[in-house]
Amino acid sequence: MDSTSAQVHYHAPPTSFLRKYIFSLDHKVIGEQYYMLALVAVYIGLVLSWIMRIHLAWPAFHIPGVEFLSKTGAPGGVLTPEYYLQLMTMHGTIMVFFVLTTAPFAGFGNYFLPIQVGAEDMPFPHINMMSFWVTFVAFCFSIAAFFVPQGPPLSGWTAYAPLSALGAVAGPGQGTGQVFWAISIGIFCIGQLLGALNFISTTLDMRCQGMSLMRLPLSVWAWFITSCIGLTAFAVLMPACILLILDHVAGTSFFIPSGLVVNDQLQPHAGGSTLLWQHLFWFFGHPEVYIAIVPAMGVVSHVLITNMRRPLLSHRVIIYSMVAIAFLSYMVYGHHMFVSGMNPFSSIVFSFPTLAITIPATIIVLIWIGSLYGSKLRVNTASLFALGFISMFVSGGISGFFLAQPSIDIMLHGTYFVVGHFHLVMAVAALFGIFAGTYFWFSKVTGRMMNEVLGKIHFLFTFVGAYCIFMPFHYLGMAGNIRRYQAFVDDFMAPLMPIHKFITIAALITGAAQLVFLYNLIHSRFWGKPAPQNPWEGTSLEWSIPSPPPFDNFGGKLPVVYHDPYQYGIEGATGDYVMQDSPEQINVVRDER
């Protein structure tokens, strides 16, 4: 590895246990902390979804253990309608904020962004540490909401006003639980803003010699673009949370209108705007979709290229498309509010960019598929999950075309069609990106390989299971099955119950498959096969250093970069690739086809 003169690290190697593992300044430890937080969160979210699905399929079933969560919310193990909504709220909150935002962006990004740009750490390690611990406190507030009187809020992860702003009078969990929710999300925003500050500074200013912007791997570009989105989006959600808290605790009227009577009580508020919350929330909420998905796009591109042994058809177009997605993501948020009573002309204004944003997304997908065509893809768990990501993203994205049109959205908005759409395009796709990244980078983080057989079993069940769960949601939606209800045993929805039962069984099996992943993760961490430094024959800088990387990443020196990030399919000294930091000249061998 060629490198520049010795550098002094920003901070000394940690010596105490606290500094090494708890309040660490090392970006790698912070990245692992974020990932572990997301791992805990995703299994909590999974269990909540299991409980909800069992209740939906068999509303009178006594779910063992649930009564310990809330004696009043689940007497005898059967959920009350209110408690179902409370669990639904926390499922959405935990999954969106503490999994989909935390793992692919903060987790992988913290660990690999500095290494991939050739830096020894992020420029502001203390702020980086603070960003994690602030996020951790936010997570604690969310979990604590389960244990306050009357439990967590029931207003959904979108916390629509005035339900979310009224207080205890609006129902179980709408008092202290809702305040805890708002505090949690407000603090979470601060953590993400601190993280974005470091990501942007690292990308712009910490690149090693030779690492021009176009030589950055696509994963770095994705994290950088996501940071820019997050910087703007979370800076708007945080004020919204502050206003919501003030409506609760200070008696202000930002979101509560005049003359509102709840449970026969006239509310002592006046003049607030319920739509104001929706505007503020969705200004964050739609970019949040891309905060979850763009890092996954970067990870998937990185994984696919390495396994295809060829660069994508166009490195630049992928970058420009991700930038276009980020830019357009701020212009489309109104499509979440088509049913809010907005002016039909406004609907068209929001509908147009909603359809337009599919263009860069489609370009990215076409580049992936075009690059895959004719390639000799190395089939491993990481590349399978990367392919699965494309499949989920396309499947969920197609239903977005329908929802982008106000006339159709008005019919489908309150149904399971929307649930199927956003779970596929945002949640499951991003989770596939997380899995692809985990199987790909695990060896670098731990120095051990994950079990490929277990990985492929995990992929198979997850891939098939995700379709079994979320595709029927679309059919349910088209049949008029309303979402957010806790039971569908009456009226026209009763004939749909077999589909709900099928989905629940699929959810239980797919969820159980995630235990295989957990086992693989833990077992491989301690007893996995020792990994070579570059098991996938990658070209980017993380593969030029030992596994796991040393404290200062590059052993007291900074690398020098000579090549674009994906020099595959060429005749190099080490095989069909040339590392970014290899000073050797590239010999191009032309295709003889």
Partner 1 sequence: MATTVHEPSRIESPRRTERPSSGNGGWRARPPVTGGLPSVDDSSPASRTGVWVGLAAITMTFAAFTSAMIVRQGGSNDWQHFTLPSMLYVSTAVLLVSSAVLEVARKRVAACLKGGQTSHANASSWLWLTMGLGWLFVACQYLAWLSLRAEGMYLATNPSSSFFYLFTGLHAVHVIGGLAGLALVIWRFRKPLSTLRISTLSTVSYYWHFMAVLWIYLLLLLWMRV
Judged by CB under 8 A, the chain residues 201 through 230 that form the site for partner 1 are 201-202, 204-213, 215
Site for partner 1 in 255-294 (CB under 8 A): 257-258, 270-273, 275-276, 279-280, 283
Residue 573: both structure tokens together: 């000294």
Task: Please tell me the distance from the alpha carbon of residue 115 to that of residue 207, in angstroms, as a whole number.
Answer: 9
Q: Measured in whole angstroms, how far is the alpha carbon of residue 577 from the centre of its chain?
A: 31
Distance CA 146, CA 512 (A): 24
Q: Can residue 320 be called a binding residue for partner 1 (CB under 8 A)?
A: no
Query: Hey, which residues between 95 and 114 contact partner 1 (CB under 8 A)?
Result: none
- Residue 43 touches partner 1, criterion: CB under 8 A: no
Binding to partner 1 (CB under 8 A) within 230-249 occurs at: 231-232, 234-236, 238-240, 242-243, 246
Distance CA 511, CA 49 (A): 9
Phi/psi-derived region of residue 90, left when phi > 0, alpha when psi is between -120 and 50, beta in every other case: alpha
- Which amino acid is it at 50? W
| 197 in contact with partner 1 (CB under 8 A) | yes
CB of 63 to partner 1, least distance (A): 41
Asked if residue 5 binds partner 1 (CB under 8 A), the reply is yes
515 vs 461: CA distance, rounded Å: 11
Query: Could you tell me which stretch among 145-153, 252-260, 324-332, 401-409 binds partner 1 (CB under 8 A)?
Result: 252-260
Is residue 360 reached through a cis peptide bond, with omega within 30 degrees of 0 on the bond before it? Answer: no
Establish whether the linkage from the previous residue to 344 is cis, with ω within 30° of 0: no
> What torsion, rounded to 10 degrees, do the Cα atoms 419, 422, 424, 426 define?
-150
String marking each residue 7-26 x if it binds partner 1 according to CB under 8 A: xx------------------
Q: Which residue in 91, 310, 421, 423 binds partner 1 (CB under 8 A)? A: 310
Closest separation in Å from C-beta 190 to partner 1: 10
What spatial distance separates the first Cα and last Cα of the chain, rounded to whole Å?
35
Q: Which of residues 64-83 bind partner 1 (CB under 8 A)?
A: none
Binding status of residue 60 toward partner 1 by CB under 8 A: no
Q: Where are the beta strands (DSSP E) in 47-86?
A: none
State the nearest-atom distance from the C-beta of 355 to partner 1, in Å.
26
Cα separation, 206 vs 123, in Å, equals: 7
Given 80, 314, 346, 405, the residue binding partner 1 (CB under 8 A): 314
Residue 459 has a CB neighbour count (10 Å cut-off) of 25
Contact between 376 and partner 1 by CB under 8 A: the answer reads: yes
Distances (CA, A) of 449 to 121, 224, 438, 444, 519: 25, 28, 11, 9, 13
Q: Is 148 in the site for partner 1 (CB under 8 A)?
A: no
Which of 6, 494 has the CB closer to partner 1? 6
Q: How far apart are CA 177 and CA 574, in angstroms?
A: 58
Q: For the CB of residue 167, give the shortest distance to partner 1 in the complex, in Å.
A: 13
| Whole-angstrom distance, CA of residue 262 vs CA of residue 254 | 17
- 571-590 positions binding partner 1, by CB under 8 A: 571, 576, 583, 585-586, 588-590
| Least distance from partner 1 to the Cβ atom of residue 228, Å | 9
58, 124, 133, 160: which one binds partner 1 (CB under 8 A): 124
Decide if residue 317 touches partner 1 (CB under 8 A).
Answer: no
Residue 36 phi, psi (nearest 5): -65, -40
Q: How far is the CB of 431 from partner 1 (least distance, A)?
A: 28
DSSP string, 93-106: HHHIIIIIIIIIII
Q: Does 254 bind partner 1 (CB under 8 A)?
A: yes
User: Does residue 251 bind partner 1 (CB under 8 A)?
Assistant: yes
Q: Which of 123, 156, 414, 447 binds partner 1 (CB under 8 A)?
A: 123
Asked whether position 555 contacts partner 1 by CB under 8 A, the answer is no
Residue 321 is a binding residue for partner 1 (CB under 8 A) = no
C-alpha–C-alpha distance, residues 186 and 411, integer Å = 33
